[in-house]
Amino acid sequence: MRPIALRLALIAITIAIMKIGQIIRAVRKKRGETLEQLAFAIKSDPSNLSRIERGVQQPSPESLRMIASALGTTVSALHAAVEGTESPTLKAPELLGANESDYTDEAIQLRQYFRTLSSDNQRALLEIAKVLKRLQRE
């Protein structure tokens, strides 16, 4: 593999690790569980789970399987949520309280574009969406 391709692959892996942690945190919070409760359920230290949720540490395949099981889902469903895709058998939308409109082609495209924006532009886009929502109600 060429050096630039290797770097891009490592960046993609790093981003996926960070996002899987965000999904784990979101599912845990949606279920009303504390970090300590989930850590206890998977027989891990809360600080270890915190590092995974923050994207600082990559979960081992076995840890990820245990986390998914404790959250009442599958590893595949967690990855599907990271990718913003859905498999009918995985029920990924239910993980985060999503509905069908969250997985339309337009919604998926919007998420893909959003991910390419700088953090400042992401915040600006969120503010625009809030204004549009307010206007829609009026």
Count CB atoms within 10 A of the CB of residue 19.
Answer: 18
Look up the pTM and report it: 0.55
Q: Does domain 3-98 correspond to CATH entry 1.10.30.50? A: no
**Structure confidence at residue 13 (pLDDT):** 61
Q: In 3-state terms, what secondary structure has residue 2?
A: coil
Which residues, 6 or more positions from 49, have their beta carbon under 8 angstroms from its beta carbon? 35, 38, 39, 42, 67
For residue 115, what are the CA distances in angstroms to 95, 125, 129, 134? 20, 11, 15, 24
Q: Quick one: how far is CA 13 from the chain centroid? A: 14
Q: Give the model's confidence band at 104: pLDDT under 50 very low, under 70 low, under 90 confident, else very high.
A: low
**Which residue is associated with the tokens 């109600």?**
137
**Structure confidence at residue 103 (pLDDT):** 57
**Structure confidence at residue 97 (pLDDT):** 56
If residue 131 lies in a helix (H) or strand (E), which one and from where to where? helix 119-137
**Structure confidence at residue 27 (pLDDT):** 87
Q: Is the pLDDT of residue 47 over 90?
A: yes
